[in-house]
């Protein structure tokens, strides 16, 4: 029985290791020049002064890295990555924030507050 448990645990670890989040981001977002296609919608990134992103969850750093890789060197990204533990590193321009998951904690309100402040500044031209 212990062998089955170890086998299942090893299969789980192997599956997690095989998931390539940046590659998935590249499949989901198609970029051609300054245009990016997301879910059937094309956006001209050249019309934006800044590109900000919010990535949430255990894969937040990998998602932000995938986006940053796809857009560089033509476009610089900035934003926040929110995860239940402090990541070893975040992509340049991104801040890491620890938030409770699945049960919210005090840190869970920080990402929402920062996002709201950034969006208000953007709406007010700052």
Check pLDDT > 90 for residue 44.
yes
Q: Which of 82, 77, 73 is nearest to 108 (CA)?
A: 82
pLDDT for 112 equals 66
Residue 43 backbone dihedrals phi, psi, to 5 degrees: -125, 135
In tens, the pLDDT along 1-18 reads: 568 888 888 888 788 777
In tens, the pLDDT along 76-125 reads: 999 989 888 888 888 899 989 888 777 778 777 776 666 666 666 665 66
- Tell me the pTM: 0.71
pLDDT for 120 equals 65
| Cβ density class 15-46: b for 16+ within 10 Å, e for less | eeeeeebbeebeeebeeeeeebeeeeeeeeee
């Amino acid at each position: 029985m212990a062998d089955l448990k170890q086998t299942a645990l090893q299969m789980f670890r192997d599956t997690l290791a095989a998931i390539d989040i940046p590659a998935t981001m590249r499949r989901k977002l198609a970029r051609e020049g300054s245009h990016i296609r997301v879910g059937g919608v094309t956006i001209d990134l050249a019309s934006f002064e800044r590109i900000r992103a919010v990535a949430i969850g255990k894969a937040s750093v990998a998602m932000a890295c995938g986006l940053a890789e796809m857009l560089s060197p033509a476009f610089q990204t900035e934003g926040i990555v929110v995860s239940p533990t402090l990541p070893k590193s975040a992509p340049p321009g991104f801040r890491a924030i620890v938030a409770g998951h699945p049960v919210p904690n005090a840190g869970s309100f920080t990402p929402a507050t920062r996002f709201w402040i950034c969006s208000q500044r953007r709406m007010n031209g700052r």
